[in-house]
Structure 1
């Protein structure tokens, strides 16, 4: 029985069942590799930090997919005595498997933790996420690892697992599972797309989630940061509301890009955080902004109220223009889905000179008659397999009077979930912003150009 389209769909379904954790002190921990795409969706939905918890399955020598135990960080080891007895594994065979898997575990620790600190679990709720479990050995050891790392409570969130396994799973204070079949032959049978997750994908998702870097200053007050990177969760007053936002300013930033998320997404969107990471590496500051308050988000009418979203974006633009750290930076807009319509609407009305606009899988048509009033150079990025949105972008491009370009990413669908497509879109955005937001030779910001 198929339940999930892919791991992203599975993560969203799991996130719905974990919604009760929103607002609590939660750290979401994905089990590499397949559990991390699921965990990224959960973390984004809960507004929680994302990290990995590293464990390795100890497979029976003649049947490696059958777990006789598992090992994890900190020397934790869990054995499945029933499997060991049934498979008649000798001590020498077991030692060989454990040594091999321990080497793999150490290698993954070096790979996934390179340049990043492990998020401290002390006194927090650890939510361990996997894309499905069979025997539960790996999940058990992950729970033990989280406990030894100081977690006050351990919750295991899985997409699919046998009911019998869930009933006999020690270590977790609570288990949340989307689908509990009476008999599980293979986890992959419950997915349309269960293609392997690469190490590169895990690294990308962790970077997109904004995991703390080793030695970084962490979350700071922008007003207190001088000559160093600013990385802060802030609230921006716009009209009668305060909008949640994440501001990151690298040293010697050359411009500032405000993100207008679409279709009810938020500043925790893993896709937009990935794009932001690419822009940071190019020396651009970013402001990932929630255009709706938590109370407003459930209303679909608000999600498609382009004027409301555009007014909020313009208000945030005015705010950054009055802050000491950002006042001198040229401003660009990055819009996704409905956020692209809001970005173009705001660009047409903003009292500040907007240096560039980029739309990713966006709906520029929602800016309506204001498209012709946009002066900022505009890049429209669309997936080649997203035919309906591609047609809408082509029609909208005809209305634009500013310098503009339509870039089609071959094979990409609306969310750019195909391997390499989001990275290509991010590179296109980076190049567009660096070309149009670079300071002038006389030192004045690019947005002052006439």
Structure 2
């Protein structure tokens, strides 16, 4: 969880359905608590969307009930990508938006995340205010002050038009695209966007049944998309994750193109037209090859902590427009307020059209450095980075790699392990240094 917070992590509240806080009882109270916070200046109006998990029906109902009990009205849009909720929250002038989703996780997980009225992640003080209400006894508002709920029937079409507009209604005539929708929230809207822009599309991962979201498809399982691109002879493949806020692409040769490479393509394109001027934001996990490639474009790479919240913080601090993660969570702040897989994909396709290059050609300006990561289990919560043997080993590893590589030790936020990552130009050296460093860490914590 984030510092000082009991329930909220870096991306809302998430866990296994029926366990911990991901229960109908807690989510009912969460809806009530959020309603109390957002209804303080009046009745309040909250937009609610979800991905395709079977548990979404249950949590949608109890959220709406909790909000109504607090005196808040709800607008229900059903299955929609997470970034669509950010957009629609602004479009309908809501006080907040709520997404029921666990992103790229399996169907048995679910979560709740919020957007502000501006379509951005909630500030810490609002999340803390919601948590404070959760500690209160739940009281139902007077009958005349109870909230209502109504379903928005044209939300789908509104978001499709928004996505198309962010690319300047890019003409995709003559381009064959395979879309992998991960049996998730993009299964309906993504094909409409690309088809209406003129592309010939082949769609996989678009038969959600409540239990198959992210199952061997989507941005975390690219092999299905790679096969489909090769089998159909498509120009490009695009895979989204379960809630549609990240993407991975595949070139016509069947090679996966990750978030770092997509950031390079976008940075190069947007620097030419002046949209990107000084630099972009990555994370501590961003490949060193991107940093080297950006230097040739006279652009800086600022590294944020892992998590789109932290990427956005750095973008705001520097007043920059482009950032993202290796996972494909890309923020194109010049056209939208949050990471959006469909919007980011359209930005990449715009770059390809402008340069008259294939995806395979466009990524050649960046050479990814070999990267090796070993997870070392921790017996308990401890500050591994403060242990003298580890400090010495990191210094030795950095000296050995010199300017041709880097070392990163990062405690996991979700499991009791520390991730030991080494990258550099020489794969043999990288493997050796990573194994040596991991061994020192393992000995130091045992």
TM-score, L = length of structure 2: 0.33
Higher-Rg structure is 1
